[in-house]
């Protein structure tokens, strides 16, 4: 998927991704306010195919799955970070949002055009390619199916 890079720092928590003040408004309201405390223009400028790149501990905090769902609702192609909070990581995969670990993200610039290739485990930035930790095949299949629930429906329908 092709898009622009939205570069963030370390310790982006679930309250920044899915602000608690908007939880009663449903996922549309939550997505409209995604990252507003960190990057006020994010929800209004992110486009389908854009990639969030961050530092360490992305998705720390509560277990609210709306944090990953808001990014997916906004069309984010995936999140690349140096590390993820475990619950956020699994919520993202379950909801069909690709999340990949990048050990060396030096030189990645905000606004740069990028291609996220989940299958190859690469973030392509023009002539520069960043190698990402590859996902296991079972998680690639789950993401391709759209997340855990669609994946299970597909498996059970095949029986």
What local confidence, expressed as pLDDT, does residue 1 receive? Answer: 61
Are β-strands 51-54 and 128-131 bridged in parallel, bridged antiparallel, or unpaired? Answer: unpaired
Can you state the percent helix, strand and coil of the chain, rounding each to 5? 35, 20, 45
Q: What is the pLDDT of residues 23-57, one digit of tens each?
A: 999 999 999 999 999 999 999 999 999 999 999 99
Q: Which domain holds residue 121?
A: 2-157
- Give the separation between CA 21 and CA 13, rounded to whole angstroms: 15
Q: What is the pTM of this model?
A: 0.95
**Residue 124 DSSP SS3:** strand
- DSSP assignment of 39-86 equals -TTHHHH--TT-EEEE-SSBTBS---THHHHHHHHTT--EEEES-B-H
What local confidence, expressed as pLDDT, does residue 159 receive? Answer: 83
What local confidence, expressed as pLDDT, does residue 148 receive? Answer: 94
The CATH number linked to 34 is: 3.20.19.10
What local confidence, expressed as pLDDT, does residue 67 receive? Answer: 97
Domain count, the chain: 1
CA distances from 97 to 12, 49, 157 (A): 17, 12, 23
Residue ranges of the chain with pLDDT lower than 70? 1
What local confidence, expressed as pLDDT, does residue 127 receive? Answer: 85
* Nearest residue to 18 (alpha-carbon basis) of 74, 56, 57, 79: 74
């Amino acid at each position: 998927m092709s898009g622009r890079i939205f570069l963030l720092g370390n310790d982006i928590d679930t309250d920044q991704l899915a602000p608690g003040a908007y939880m009663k408004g449903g996922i549309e309201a939550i997505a409209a306010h995604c990252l507003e405390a960190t990057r006020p223009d994010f929800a209004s400028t992110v486009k389908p195919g854009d990639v969030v790149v961050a530092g360490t501990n992305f998705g720390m905090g509560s277990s609210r799955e709306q944090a990953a769902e808001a990014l997916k609702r906004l069309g984010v192609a995936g999140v690349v970070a140096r590390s993820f909070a475990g619950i956020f990581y699994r919520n993202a995969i379950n909801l069909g949002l690709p999340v990949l670990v990048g050990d060396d993200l030096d030189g990645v610039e905000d606004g740069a055009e990028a291609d996220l290739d989940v299958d190859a485990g690469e973030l392509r930035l023009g002539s520069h390619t960043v190698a990402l930790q590859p996902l296991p095949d079972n998680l690639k299949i789950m993401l391709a199916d759209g997340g855990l629930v669609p994946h299970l429906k597909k498996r059970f329908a095949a029986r």
